[in-house]
Structure 1
Amino acid sequence: MNKLSFEHVWKQTETNFELKNVSFTINKDEWLLISGPFAQGKETLQKIILGFELNWKGSILLNNESIKDIVNYNEKIAFIHNHLQLENGRDSIYDYLAFPLKLRGVSEKEISQEINSALRKFSFLLEIEREMNTLSLQEKVIIAFVRATLLKPSLIVIDEPFYQLPNSKRKVIIATMQEKLRFWKDCPVIIFSSYVLEWLHFCDRIAVIHQKKLLQIGVPSVLLEEQEHVFVAKYLRGDGITFLSGYLKDHLFMTSGISFYLPEELTRKKELYEGQKLLLGVKSTSFHVVDKPVCSSDGVSFEAPIHILQEEEEYYKIYSNLGSQPLVAQIKKSGKIEKGERVRLFFHYKDLLFFDGNTEKRLMQRG
């Protein structure tokens, strides 16, 4: 069931667009990560969801009702800010949790009942008279989330939980949320973060925003294997993909350093046409070392020089090039490879990633 839905949402100022034609839905009980570089659209989207930004066009429905028509919409959204480690006040845990409920006029008796019930639900066993400045980062993460749930929100929004934190503290936050909070299903949770790799095994779905557009949204496994946009591939995999730029001529993909035939079945499936400019990708793990040329009906084989060689416990990482285009291959160890030598690499046609004009059209049509 959809809890929150966006349809063709735009945000425009006098001089530029801050959000372009964003459409997606958030399911009732999911944890969704919205990620992307700073100032590329996710901050504007967050303000709209929180109700801080009202000057936008399109449709946003919460439980099938326009958020512009919901009285006190802001009160239905619980917000957890990005300074978890700075909760160092001398308030007790009880006072910290009770404060937003007191603002809503809830009686002391009801507040006490609600807090005790919530702490039991999250198996939080600390004395509630302890001061906030005595808590560990793990305890602060739990208490911040408990406080959000006490408001009985329709949606919980978490802002940049890794903000200005070292890797050691990021690991604490991820582990705490996984072990103590991930069971939460009473309402959807949206995490806004410029970090993405740390969340791949945590969130139900991931949305990537770039240049004010929603480029792709889906479960992590699909985003890792079937990127629909060049930026998504680079954002999720870094140097884990080799990109080949060229054009199609008589089923022959022409590019600097290598040219090869694409099977007719593949060109039909991808709706490719003569003369079309193409950007193809090959994941580093899709390359294999072979000792002789491989039949062209199966895939592509070629020789490549080894410029840089990194040896890990179970694989080699080879940095090479095809013409002017850099190549990265991760090869399972089955023999000795030396820097400076040439190796014959092979990849299957089925492992090709297509970043073509038709894909871009379909993305635009879906918003």
Structure 2
Amino acid sequence: MAQGTPVRHEPYPAPHEGSRADCIPWCLGPTRDYAAWAGCVSAAAGDCSIKDGATSIRKLGYSPNPVAQALSSGSTQVIGLIVPDIGNPFWAVYASAIEAAAHLQGLDVLRCSATSDSTAFFLSHLEEMKVRGILLATDLPDEDRAVAKSLSTRLVQLSSHRPLDGTVSIASDLYQGARQATYHLRSLGHARIAFLGDLSGDDPRLAGWSDTLGVSLQAPGLAFQAEFTMRGGLEAMRSILAAPETPTAVFASSDAIAIGALHAIREARLDVPAHISLISLDDSPEAAFALPGITSVRQPVEDMARDAIAALLDEQHLEARLHMYPMTLVQRSSTASPAN
């Protein structure tokens, strides 16, 4: 072998001749071989300059690992984002807005899709990775709140209506959003308006619907439990359509629920809005591109994302409390006056 030729070690197969990989050694031999390959002047002695080192870095296609850099610097330019379900249309849009706002500040975002059982694990894991800060978009169970309070990493909560003491929490005003949605249906002449969403806890969407209609939270035949997924909306809407008296309008707590409900209505050979009007919260792209387009109350994700990143980087940007953002009605073709 000629002096200065990089050494290839078996059992790894050599790349095809002429390929780009053929230019990059998998395992370099003695220092002088590496020096010659890098283009050093005094290759025999392995005496590389900084300029020569830069040449070899370009040849290797090396790029720094931000997590590895954190081991020496004590922090990274990476932030953690914990969301409940990245497959949900709303959280996908929100995560993209957060990434856009973070990139403007020179930050990368590490997404974690967490269940209620794994939130504490991700909080601890992100702190071990020495991320710059953590955005938490899941409500914390009581048993995990102690873990969150013990973090030395800065934490900002998103869409939390139970903020931790001493933390910034950023959320849409879901109560007022639900009132807007329900009032819109009432203004069209609907009196029997069903609710699809979470009936188990203190959900502001349920309270907004109930207060606007002046009905009990346990109103028979009107409030239906639905998971915040398309399948959840499909199954809940099937239950509504199987009831003795069908409502003339439905308020779905999210676009994902509404899309599932729309499928169930079509499955029953009914029309939206001729037979049933449909409205939701979030205003994700899926709502706009549904057929018909779903009237929805928009969450201001871009504004919330910008403030979340700013609050993560600057403790003085927002006071440590819950900050509520107004929502906006976006009217489309899924709502109309009742036929009769």
Task: Output the TM-score relative to the length of structure 1.
Answer: 0.25
**Whose helix fraction is larger, Structure 1's or Structure 2's?**
2
**Whose strand fraction is larger, Structure 1's or Structure 2's?**
1
Q: If you compute each CA radius of gyration, which structure gives the higher value, 1 or 2?
A: 2
Task: Output the TM-score relative to the length of structure 2.
Answer: 0.26
